[in-house]
Amino acid sequence: MVELPLSGITVVELGDSASAPFAGQVLAGLGADVWKVERPAGDSARGWGPSQWRGEGAAFHALNRGKRMISIDIKDPEQLAKLQRLITERADVFLHNLRPGNSVKYGLDAASLRARNPELIHCELGAFGHLGPLNTEPGYDPLMQAFSGIMSITGEADGAPVRAGVSIIDFGSGMWSVIGILAALFRRAGSGAGAAINSSLLETAIAWNAVAIAGFNADGNPGERHGSGISFIVPHRGFRCSDGDLIISCANDPLFARLAEALGHPEWATDERFATNAARLVNRAEIERLIGETVAGNTRDHWRDLLRPYGIPAAPVQTTSELLAHEQTAALGIVAAPEGEDDIATVGVPLSFDGRRPPPLHSARRVGADDADLDELLRS
């Protein structure tokens, strides 16, 4: 059995949809005892589709495994008081993504709760952030990919701006919240003092756009869309093979020279148009055309096998089913169901401790499944 680093830490998560539930999921995977608080109707993600598991959205199970489930209507004064007691008397961490203003309205803000328990770590995961003229507006992942500029540099050059196919801002915001919580727990271990942490979707989106922002501040270039490629390295994109696309990446000139040799065109490496990354950036269209024409006539596996001895980074663009069937995924053991249980296989914690990954967590329980345990806890 893996000794999980957050064993003994109690977290109360008042999270809906994706960002805060993902943070709570990470903390649960690291061993924390996570009490998820839902309104009586349940988290919004319970109804997300189209994929279902045991009558509820598969997405909900991906974000809420291994948690205790309690149902509390914070609009009811008695139930709200019960939640406040749970947080101030039993919790090490309170994590929420309530709509702006609601934490103060219901006495769940950092000042109110930490006045009763100074050791509490309070983490508020907002939308546009806790400061500024938009701090009271709600927000979701695609809004932040748009507002932050990420969508302006995502997609094909001659196409519309595109949102990333996964909720990178929701999940990234959850990760930053976890990082803040872990830092606060570390500090508290020495000082005994809790913390008030603020994170937000917009701040995460801005952080993910750091390279484009640095580029603009350097020379005023707002960035462009390069499809599967990237603005500052060539080649570093997908090329169409006979059976699909293969990403080929040459992050430096020696790698490009080896690629040219592997593809049977060593002259590319000495051509002044392509010899350096700076030159390849200027002549991007031509070198990408030449590589594309070269690889088009054979399969992804053929080119991967050919490029591997040269140390050229390459990977096929896979579907989810191809990923799950791949022996590398199986070897990592990151997608699994709890041992001995008829449960959905989901993604585990992408970390190993002393060579072992934290075990898979059971899928999410029904709304209010642990209400009786909460009542018993508060009576003790």
Q: What average pLDDT does this structure show over 253-279?
A: 97
Helix axes 253-262, 300-307, angle to 10 degrees: 120
Spatial CB neighbours of 14, under 8 Å, sequence gap ≥ 6? 20, 37, 74, 83, 94, 95, 96, 97, 98, 108
Spatial CB neighbours of 119, under 8 Å, sequence gap ≥ 6? 92, 188, 192, 193, 194
Average pLDDT of the chain is 95
pLDDT tens-digit readout, 74-87? 999 999 999 999 99
Confirm or reject CATH 3.90.850.10 for domain 236-316, answering yes or no. no
pLDDT of residue 2: 64
pLDDT tens-digit readout, 351-361? 999 999 999 99
What's 353's DSSP letter?
B
- Kindly state the tokens that stand for 95: 């994590």
pLDDT of residue 23: 98
Confirm or reject CATH 3.40.50.10540 for domain 10-208+333-379, answering yes or no. yes
Kindly give the pairing relationship between strand 335-336 and strand 346-347.
antiparallel
Identity at 359, one-letter amino acid code = P
Helix axes 168-191, 201-208, angle to 10 degrees: 110
Active site residue 301: no
Query: Where do you find CATH 3.40.50.10540 in the chain?
Result: 10-208+333-379
pLDDT tens-digit readout, 10-35? 999 999 999 999 999 999 999 999 99
- Catalytic residue from among 43, 92, 170, 343: 170
- Cα 296 to Cα 299: distance, rounded to the nearest angstrom: 8
pTM: 0.93
Kindly give the pairing relationship between strand 244-249 and strand 236-241.
antiparallel
Spatial CB neighbours of 9, under 8 Å, sequence gap ≥ 6? 27, 31, 32, 33, 92, 93, 185
Q: 312 pLDDT exceeds 70?
A: yes
pLDDT tens-digit readout, 90-148? 999 999 999 988 999 999 999 999 999 999 999 999 999 999 999 999 999 999 999 99
- Cα 20 to Cα 319: distance, rounded to the nearest angstrom: 27
CA quadruple 345, 346, 349, 351: dihedral positive or negative? positive
- Kindly state the tokens that stand for 288: 């990408």
> Predicted confidence band at 380 (pLDDT cuts at 50, 70, 90)?
confident
Query: Where do you find CATH 3.30.1540.10 in the chain?
Result: 236-316
